[in-house]
Structure 1
Amino acid sequence: MKILIGMTRSDTVVSGSFKHICQIGERFRQEGIDVTYVLGGDGSAAQALEQRGYRVYKLKNLRRDLNIWFDFIALLQLIWVIFKVRPKICSWHTAKIGALGRIASVLTFRKNYYVPHGVPFVNTPENRGYKKFQLLERILAFLPGTIVGVCQFDKNEYLRIGVPDRKVKVIYNGMAGRKKIHGIAERPRGTQVKFITAARFEVQKDYVTLAKAVEKLHESGANFSLDIYGDGQMEAEVKSLFAALPPEVITFKGVVPDFSVKLAESDIFVLSSHWEGLPRSIIEAMACGKAVIATDVGGSRELINHQLTGYLVPHKDVAALHDCMRTYVEDKDKISQHGKNGFNNYFINFTLEKMLDRYVDEYFGGEYGGVESQGEVA
């Protein structure tokens, strides 16, 4: 049995969508399924998959931005890949290949799934192409296939634009973690509080608000630091936002192979965004027993119970983000309390095993095992 898994970009290994396709691919391979990938270009993500022993097709004409000529060539190439691989199922991840892949699947009579990892038509000023994707999704909804939202927010957005309920399912993201956490110790007074964030340097992430909140916190004399992990096209611009802050407060760390190790060394995870699906970085932080501060967009509120496992901050609200960060600096007991509550929420609802079981059951009809029901958020 064969499956073809596709993702638009190959230029980063830190995105949640890349981690996702690695995890489901590895699970499918463990089940004896022949897994092949197709990505746009020959970037670090494609190379990482090849190093793991997967066959990877790299399409240089498959690009994120809309372009009629490149998109048409990429569609023909996807059709060729499908005929060559002959998969039983095609699983398309992220917007561009999600559109082209669904068309290619229909033309080649293949069962297909589309996992957007956050709907591409969220109506926010920063998401300038949302109207094009909204129109495109309305048209593509007439094609055979299933859309898999990673949170209820995703499904609600598709229902809002008129996609039938029967075509949209929800499989919550999950991440690997321990069954127990040990030693979330109370922080002594006077100890520096360590914030950490990991997000691509791109338009979707709101580093402007984060930088202003951090600068305000520093001016107040708070004892804290912020480590920033990530890469992306806007790296120079993002670094300039924090240029006025001293190196003992702000450190850019680049990309690391195992972010959970760095989470273990920190106190609070922060995610400042303009829009989101269901952020896997938040799940990973909860799996490490960390308190979380995140912008209240997308499915973040399906992960965070405000004031119990962390804090939800209104979009672009510098004062609110500053206040939440300052609360942790001044009340260190909350760091451990929220971290423990977040871990319990993770273990009940968002483990990697739960997510992978659901994908196997959905894609292959329960042939490889059952599915547990989604629990209640703590």
Structure 2
Amino acid sequence: MNWKFFNRKKSADKPKKSKTREWLDAIVFAVVASTIIRGLFFSAYAIPSSSMEGTQLTGDYLFVSKIAYGPRMPFTPIAVPFLESEVYGVKTYWSGIQLPYFRLPGFGHVTKNDIVVFNKPAEADPIFNRPVDARTNLIKRCVATAGDEFALVDTRLYVNGKLVLNAPKAQTTYIVTTDGADINPELLNNLKIEIRQPVGQNAYEMIIPVDSYVAFKSIPNIKSIVPAVQKRGVYNPEIFPHNEKFKWNVDNFGPLRLPKAGMTIALNDSTMILYRRAIELYEHNKVDVKGKDIFVNNKKADSYTFKMNYYWMMGDNRHNSEDSRYWGYVPEDHIVGKAKITWMSSDSTASFFNRIRWNRIMKLIE
């Protein structure tokens, strides 16, 4: 019996791929695989500013877990992979197709004290005309979650009425008074102390790391070091909600209740000041105020129920951080992921041979 079934011609009879075709296939596979990994599992981000010092340093490179909170599906599916939303002023995405917010299941939810990467809520303003996932990426610490009551009292943080301790290496600003003698610049550099500005005769506003405080205070020409605190009741128009009815500043703020999915609020003059941005820009409702009447989507309304959870994010370098105190809540659809590992760190101000911070390589983020 002739079993021709087992005598089929081998695939070697097919035309052999050219070297160019093999390289092209390999590149396509690599791009697709890395895009899936970057979109669903983790991405690499760099720390561009000092807002998280001394926890995370300028020049740190991080791995950010997307599956910690669940991978967020793209709002703008048509974009050039691996590039920022704009390169030299040219958009790398097409906003002609916009998908609704959807997030796959993750290992957990945003919790207090997490260091989180998210899109900048301030860029929800129509003037920016950017989809959510094309907005600038920021990294801050979550200090309050949906439904919490948040407040700052003389720089001290309270959540639901309980004092919350600062991160171990959190930084703040001090007013330093000297006897008039100059301070050695090399000493300031070694102690990582930043002079922000002079504030009087022989007095300076400085950011002093926790680890440097005792050594700096012991210098003979230092007369006093006093925390710099904006007084209660002093209104700062740069601070959210940008209304003098709420006389808040960077050190004395709130109390403010964070919106939570399913939470209903009464609509009145005060709540419209505090929550209109969330109702209108983040939850995409049309809001009109006619006299004492409030209309949501052309219907008179005396209450509103939120659709999303919102978070309060602040930098550990409290007096050198543009954060929720300036632009308010972070909606859940802006959340990108949780910072997990510092895989590389480079100090651009150091000499060539000392540029790499070896003690931060592959360091877990807490």
- Tell whether the structures are fold-level matches, with TM greater than 0.5: no
Q: TM-score range by the shorter chain?
A: under 0.3
Higher helix share: 1
TM-score scaled by length of structure 1: 0.21
Q: Which has the larger radius of gyration?
A: 2
TM-score scaled by length of structure 2: 0.21
Answer 1 or 2: higher relative contact order, Cα 8 Å, separation at least 6.
Answer: 2
